Structure 1
Amino acid sequence: MKQIRKFLILSLLAIQSFAVFPKEKAVYELHSKDELFFLGEDSRAQDSKEKWNLDELENFAVTSNPLYLREKQNIGMARGDIITASLYYNPIVNMQQQFMGASANAATGRPETSFIYNQPFDMSGVIPQREKVAKQEFLGTIASFRDFDRLFRLRLRQNFWTYLYVTEQINYQKEFLENYQDLLDLTKLRAEKGDISFLEYDRLALERVQIEREYRNARILRAQVVKNLRILIGISDVNSPLSIKGRLEFISTREFGIDLNDFDIEERPDLVALKIRQQKERMNIELKKREIIPPLTLGIEFLNKGNENVTGVYAATPLPLFDRKQGEILKSEESYKKLGFDVDAKRNEIVSEISAAIKELQARESQLLDYQKMGLLEKNKEVQEKSRLAYIRGASNLVTFLEAEKNYLSVLRSYYEIIYLYYNALEGYKASIGKMDSSEF
């Protein structure tokens, strides 16, 4: 029986040695009940729910996330300010009836009825200028929302790439765990037979504990990433499944059609918002100066007192002798200067940010291109498979085998980590130049 069991294990290991690394899948699925528990998702619901790619996640998030929709309401509020600023002065109607102490024999005590109509007139163009200021604020609100949208999409994409990276970790660590269990069975047989010492079996068991710990940590990390994605896309029901489709594969910037030198820092939404608000303050200075001249009020009055009927026209306006908006004009001028410094500082910040993003992206891409050219994964996989077969046949010791296993695992982890950092750098570059949509390149 032992010989038959050993033969079956050797055959199984020989087959699995050529399939250590999982085949490419376009869709990532959950693999165990423990993982379902960590992610809080039901397997049947998971099968019935369509998998989402990055574009679908973004489209759903911008229509469902309450925080995103709340920020979008600022545009509607600014539009209401434009309507308020463009409205003209309301007329004033006054009716008066005097009857207390009236006597028919007293001329001065007869009942008196008066009707007064007043209409203020904008003599210095305050209302058109106020409307211009409100429109400028409206444009600034739109630019601020675009900046919020830029950062929102950046955070969503960072969590998306983190999900794919952690999923890759879970996939290959799961394969290693299964292979280690088979090797444990084989090592135990060889130790019982006397070919090797039980010390090698204990050592292999300890190695498996370490890999299992990293595997479970990766599942916990993915559960945290799923939580962040739920918050970002606006899914509040934890029982609602969330499946992501995609693959952490290297695609160069050239294949994406991205020219790292083709950008304009003046198009960054946060810089655009600052420049618009600077222009608004400049218009606000003119508005405060126009407000020095108060509105002119023209009135028509009709008076009836006994047999006496009087109709008259009058005009009234405040005299700006003391209050001539001195403080508000000075405040607007200083605010305009302050925003000028803010624009210059933001421009320098953007230049430094883009420069750092380009350097990081080029470094990550160059490293991945070198790995791709030398066939790093293929060569490392070949060495690992040969080491595994040598150990199965008894031509290699456990120390050599474990070293090859750890080297292969380390290369996989480093390779996918670099791809993950590459995509993070790519999204960071897009965010730094203010173009998150691939169609803009």
Structure 2
Amino acid sequence: MTLKALRALCAAMSVVPLALMAQTPQPPQPSGASTPITLQQAVDRARAGNPSLIAARQHVSATQANKITASLRQNPTLTLLGQGVTLPEVNNNGGNPYYYSANVSRLFERGQKRRWRLDSASATADETESQYHDQERQLVLAVRQAFTNMLLAKASLVVAEENLTDYRKTVDLSQARLDAGDITRTDFERIDLQLAQFESDDDNARLNLQQASAQLQLLFGADHPVPTLDITGTLNPPPVPLTMADAETTALAGRPDYTAAKQALLAAEANEKFAIASGTTDPTLATEYERSGADNTVGFSLSIPLRIFDRNQGEKERTRYEVESSRSSVTAARNQVVSDVDQAWFALDTAQRQAHRYNTRYLDEAARVRDNLQFSYRNGNSTLLDYLSALRDYRAITLSSLNANAQVWLAIHQLSFATATDIIP
């Protein structure tokens, strides 16, 4: 290699900045790009615009209206009757006198049917609202995961672009050395063949970012994703400010699916009591006024069904089993809550240990190997392919570190989902 070519090569070779280890890379903003949104802004947009969540919200309102129906009392019944018959005079007898009557009747419920009916409707409405909050919780998890995946895709694109730009410089300098006769065509083509992998990595990184953006916008309720959506955030792993026991306690106190299971039990108990009450007799009291010619009559009646055969036995038996089933469902829901928290905690612990190893050990080691081989190559003690191999190893470790940091955030989001809280606001 000539001295002039060596100087040009040393000046042009560039590597991924070491600052990549300390912070998430941010790609340059394209002209006309929208203002980057934060994670909380993304969650707020999804809550406001997701059509599935809007539909669930309307369903909650519809279920609340059932309480109005359940609280209504029986309406009275008004019956009016009138008739007049006029016959021809026979033997000097006049026609029949005019007749009319008014009857008002009302069924009176016994056994506190209205109370249990209202309790059942209220518990069902509360259960539906808790199910809505659980659906909202699932949407928030999906948004947080999609947001983190898009952050990872942005960071990976930065690395891929730097890799491609840096290696193209190496190919250009190798072309210059080939033209100057410092290397053979075979050596140049061995170097040039590596460019295909860097170009493929860059294309795949761009595709991943586009797909991550489309997935996030789908959760916003967008009918067609826009290419200008941008986000801002960090992949640096944060500390988690709670213990596993605290997480379990928080989850049992706030998980909407567990709350819904308990409310379903209340509804089942109210239905059982309503079934028992429906086996009682409901009397119907009526009063009537009649006028026939010049005569007036006032009376009343009491109608009492005789529950000899049908005493609502089937519903009583069915609702009793429904109560037992709901009790078991509450136990199962509680066990599921504890299991979800424990699994999310174990996943977070594993992700934190992996990220810690990359950030405190492997990144530094890969950087030292790269720097040593770079120095050795520039001083003629190693081949260019050895140096490029070290450079690719460093970049691979950098991407692995980014993935490890992203896994910590995904585990935090899963723990937030399991506890129904914001672990990291």
Same-fold call, TM > 0.5?
yes
2:210 corresponds to 1:223 = yes
2:70 corresponds to 1:75 = no
1:59-115: per-residue Cα shift (whole Å, max 9, x none)? 111111111111112221121011110111111111112236667887894332111
Alignment partner for residue 414 of structure 1, among 374, 383, 400? 400
CA distance in 2, matches of 1:82, 1:51: 44
The worse-fitting range, judged by mean Cα deviation, of 216-225 and 232-241 is 232-241
Residue 51 of structure 2 is matched in structure 1 by: 66
CA distance in 1, matches of 2:61, 2:87: 56
C-alpha distance 229-103 of structure 1, shift in aligned 2 (>3 A): farther
The answer to whether the 8 A contact 2:133-2:256 is kept is yes
2:229 corresponds to 1:245 = no
- Partner-residue secondary structure (3-state), 2:237: coil
The worse-fitting range, judged by mean Cα deviation, of 365-374 and 411-420 is 365-374
1:26 CA displacement:
7.8
CA distance in 2, matches of 1:112, 1:164: 87
Residue 318 of structure 1 is matched in structure 2 by: 305
C-alpha distance 131-316 of structure 1, shift in aligned 2 (>3 A): same
The answer to whether the 8 A contact 1:159-1:229 is kept is yes
1:276 CA displacement:
1.4
Structure 2's unaligned 5+ residue stretches are none
1:365-406: per-residue Cα shift (whole Å, max 9, x none)? 1232344444x4344234324433543554420231122012
The worse-fitting range, judged by mean Cα deviation, of 363-372 and 90-99 is 363-372
Amino acid at match of 2:225: V
1:269 CA displacement:
1.8
CA distance in 2, matches of 1:12, 1:292: 92
2:121 corresponds to 1:98 = no
Residue 284 of structure 2 is matched in structure 1 by: 297
CA distance in 1, matches of 2:307, 2:237: 70
CA distance in 2, matches of 1:219, 1:300: 83
C-alpha distance 112-347 of structure 1, shift in aligned 2 (>3 A): same
Residue 119 of structure 1 is matched in structure 2 by: 106
Residue 344 of structure 1 is matched in structure 2 by: 331
C-alpha distance 108-29 of structure 1, shift in aligned 2 (>3 A): farther
Alignment partner for residue 275 of structure 2, among 274, 284, 288? 288
Residue 411 of structure 2 is matched in structure 1 by: 425
CA distance in 2, matches of 1:414, 1:128: 62
- Partner-residue secondary structure (3-state), 1:251: coil
Aligned residues: 419
C-alpha distance 308-147 of structure 1, shift in aligned 2 (>3 A): same
Amino acid at match of 2:11: S
Residue 245 of structure 2 is matched in structure 1 by: 261
C-alpha distance 364-167 of structure 1, shift in aligned 2 (>3 A): same
Residue 197 of structure 2 is matched in structure 1 by: 210
1:411 CA displacement:
0.5
1:438 CA displacement:
4.3
Residue 279 of structure 1 is matched in structure 2 by: 266
Residue 391 of structure 1 is matched in structure 2 by: 377
Structure 1's unaligned 5+ residue stretches are 32-42
The answer to whether the 8 A contact 2:344-2:414 is kept is yes
Amino acid at match of 2:408: Y
Percent identical:
22
1:204 CA displacement:
2.2
CA distance in 2, matches of 1:162, 1:202: 36
- Partner-residue secondary structure (3-state), 1:322: coil
Residue 184 of structure 1 is matched in structure 2 by: 171
CA distance in 1, matches of 2:88, 2:364: 115
The answer to whether the 8 A contact 1:137-1:280 is kept is yes
- Partner-residue secondary structure (3-state), 1:261: helix
Cα RMSD, aligned residues only: 2.7
Residue 53 of structure 1 is matched in structure 2 by: 38
C-alpha distance 205-110 of structure 1, shift in aligned 2 (>3 A): farther
Residue 219 of structure 2 is matched in structure 1 by: 232
Amino acid at match of 2:382: S
CA distance in 2, matches of 1:50, 1:104: 99
C-alpha distance 102-90 of structure 1, shift in aligned 2 (>3 A): farther
2:404 corresponds to 1:404 = no
CA distance in 1, matches of 2:383, 2:311: 94
1:188 CA displacement:
1.9
The answer to whether the 8 A contact 1:102-1:110 is kept is no
1:313 CA displacement:
1.7
Amino acid at match of 2:243: D
CA distance in 1, matches of 2:335, 2:68: 36
C-alpha distance 251-110 of structure 1, shift in aligned 2 (>3 A): same
Alignment partner for residue 350 of structure 2, among 341, 363, 373? 363
1:21 CA displacement:
6.3
2:74 corresponds to 1:89 = yes
1:126-170: per-residue Cα shift (whole Å, max 9, x none)? 111111111111221122112111111111111111111111111
